[in-house]
């Protein structure tokens, strides 16, 4: 009888842990609507006079030639709590942080104009799969032109990254949906406990194309690995 009671108690304890873990993950994707408006006058005034610490586009230099790269689950999770960010993939290199995000309606004003905001449910199947791993959203809000992300939005993301990774020189953020699919492929490599450095050349091609007008088109990492 006592043994049975212990087994029941142990089972209940395990179930409680599982429920708690699920609840925290669900809460990550069920944020309440936030009144944060990155395009508001107040947001712009808050940024006025503050040193801009996120990365700018670098043309024909070595800022995006990285020597190492690793996925940061900690920062990716932290950014998903920011108003307007549905999910994030964050990679740290020897000098930069690269952030890919999909957006949601828990924030607003992340684009300089609504005409730059799009909702996607798919992308070119020859480039990347049309799902994002571990992301429960069927519709993705994106701003595919990086220059149209507002400075307060990029600064908010950069501030969180610098808080958790102060050694980073620059933070480069994109809400381009295809870029997010690419970055998700690199995240899968990390989740399988494989070194992303193995694919550093492909990673550099991707970020140079996204942030420095690189002329070489990135290809699906999944296709590259299967060759």
- pLDDT per residue rounded down to tens, the chain (227 residues): 544 555 555 555 444 444 444 444 444 555 666 668 898 766 665 555 455 567 666 655 688 999 999 999 999 999 999 999 999 999 999 999 999 999 988 888 999 988 888 876 554 444 444 566 666 555 678 999 998 999 999 999 999 999 999 999 999 999 998 899 899 999 999 999 999 999 999 999 999 999 988 888 888 887 777 76
Spatial CB neighbours of 127, under 8 Å, sequence gap ≥ 6: 178, 181, 182, 219, 220
Determine the length of the chain: 227
- Has this prediction a pTM greater than 0.75? yes
Q: What's the rounded Cα separation, in Å, for the pair 180 and 22?
A: 24
The pLDDT value recorded for residue 225 is 73
The pLDDT value recorded for residue 41 is 64
The pLDDT value recorded for residue 14 is 47
CA-based angle 215:186:91, to the nearest 5?
A: 85
Question: What is the torsion angle, in degrees rounded to the nearest 10, for the CA atoms of residue 171, residue 174, residue 179 and residue 181?
Answer: 90
CA-based angle 99:104:110, to the nearest 5?
A: 65
DSSP 37: B
CA end-to-end span of the chain: 59
Nearest to 119 by CA among 98, 133, 105: 105
By the 10 Å C-beta count (0-12 exposed, 13-18 middle, 19+ buried), 140 is classed as: buried
Nearest to 73 by CA among 8, 133, 154: 133
Helix (H), strand (E) counts: the chain = 7, 6
């Amino acid at each position: 009888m006592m043994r049975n009671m212990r087994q029941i108690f142990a089972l209940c304890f395990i179930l409680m842990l599982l429920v708690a873990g699920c609840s925290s993950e669900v809460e990550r994707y069920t944020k309440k609507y936030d009144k944060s408006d990155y395009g508001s006058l107040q947001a712009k005034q808050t940024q006025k006079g503050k040193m801009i610490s996120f990365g700018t586009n670098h043309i024909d230099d070595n800022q995006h030639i990285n020597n190492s790269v690793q996925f940061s689950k900690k920062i990716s999770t932290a950014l998903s709590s920011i108003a307007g960010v549905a999910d994030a993939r964050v990679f740290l290199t020897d000098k930069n942080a690269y952030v890919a995000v999909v957006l949601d309606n828990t924030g607003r004003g992340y684009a300089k104009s609504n005409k730059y905001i799009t909702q996607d449910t798919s992308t070119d199947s020859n480039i990347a799969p049309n799902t994002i791993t571990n992301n429960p959203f069927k519709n993705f809000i994106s701003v595919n032109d990086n220059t149209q992300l507002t400075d307060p939005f990029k600064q908010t993301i950069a501030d969180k990254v610098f808080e958790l990774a102060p050694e980073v020189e620059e933070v480069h953020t994109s809400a381009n949906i295809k870029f997010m699919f690419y970055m998700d492929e690199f995240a899968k490599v990390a989740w399988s406990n494989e070194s992303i450095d193995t694919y550093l050349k492909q990673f550099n091609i991707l970020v140079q194309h996204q942030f420095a007008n690189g002329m070489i088109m990135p290809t699906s990492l999944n296709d590259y690995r299967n060759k």
